[in-house]
Chains A and B, each alone.
Chain A
Amino acid sequence: MHIPDGYLGPQTYVPLYALFVGIIGLAVKKMKKKLTVKLVPFLGMASAFTFLIMMFNVPIPGGSSGHAVGAAIVALILGPWSAMVSVSVALIIQALVFGDGGITAIGANCFNMAIVMPVVAIVIFKIVAGKSGNIVRLNTAAFLSGYISLNIAAIITAIQFGIQPLLATAPNGQPLYAPYPLKVAVPAMAMEHLLLFGFVEGLVTLLLFNYFNKTDKEFIYVLKS
């Protein structure tokens, strides 16, 4: 889901940069209010965790590969603002140091994986879990928050790819950037995430939620009222 350089035209990546900078600015401000010396190591660990979990490529046999992002569980535990900041840090390092995701696409990639995912994850968790303390319901909520948030992020990424042929073409009609239309990009990205990668994100979210629910319950953001 890391969009490389050259896939998005400036009509797409410039507004997404602006949107990302605006939201992350707000996130830093909000996070700062609650930031304590105690929280800093957790932010670092959350960032390191998402960085590492994205290295675990999962294959579709004979097809493409993908990975979990880890943004859902980070959001459930640390809350949306801290999650946005720590996942963004991981994504920016991936782009600058490892060329994973383009530098022109940092805004887009951070918007999709560091902004959209945490927000969707928390909303889904709250809807599914309600006020119930029932462990089965909480675990279902955790799984679905990972599964759905990754899928939404993937579909938004696919839409960004798919609108490129509509936005910019060469005089001979060939697309200038990502060449696949919406009707190819969206089903391709949606299918692989619905069928496989979403389950991986869901499982990662469920397992870690369960662990923290047992060891550090008071620490979990979505369980505080």
Chain B
Amino acid sequence: MSLNLELMKNKKLIIGLLVLVLLTPIGIYVPKWFNAEDAWGEWPVETIKEKMGFAPKGMQKDAELWHAPVPDYSLGDENISLTKQSGYYILSGIIGIAIISLLSFGLFKLIKKE
């Protein structure tokens, strides 16, 4: 049985996921409307410095360890418009799903061989 056939049977679930992708900007707009900030314990080092009056040394050293290709689900800086942010957010959703699909397809090929 091919993967396509399997996926056809789950059309509703796939449509559901695609709808979720298009709705992701809600996750940007709603916190803005309610003046909410980052999640607790996920602040950048500068924010910790403001809150505590100092930047922990180890944190400062490790914080820049990794430069993600699409940092914070965006390709623009923090000052871009909400519309642009939403566009990047949807794009991030698509990238995420694309990588997961590739991995699933790889796994599918692998176990079909066995």
Contacts and interface: CB of A to CB of B under 8 A. Distances in A.
Given A40-B104, A52-B20, A98-B68, A2 B36 contact: no
Contact of B24 (A1, A43, A55, A103): A55
Interface SS of B by simple majority: helix
A40 B31 contact: no
B37 A64 contact: yes
A61 to B, nearest CB: 4
A64 B38 contact: yes
Contacts of B30: 57-59
Interface in B41-64: 41-42, 45, 48, 52, 54, 56-64
A125 to B, nearest CB: 21
Contacts of A98: 68, 70-73, 92, 96
Interface of A: 1-7, 9, 35-38, 40-45, 47-49, 51-53, 55-67, 89-90, 93-100, 102-104, 157-158, 161, 168, 170, 174-180, 185, 188-189, 192
Given A40-B111, A53-B20, 16 more contacts: A5-B62, A5-B63, A6-B60, A7-B59, A37-B3, A38-B6, A41-B3, A42-B10, A56-B24, A61-B35, A64-B39, A99-B66, A168-B58, A170-B56, A176-B58, A189-B41
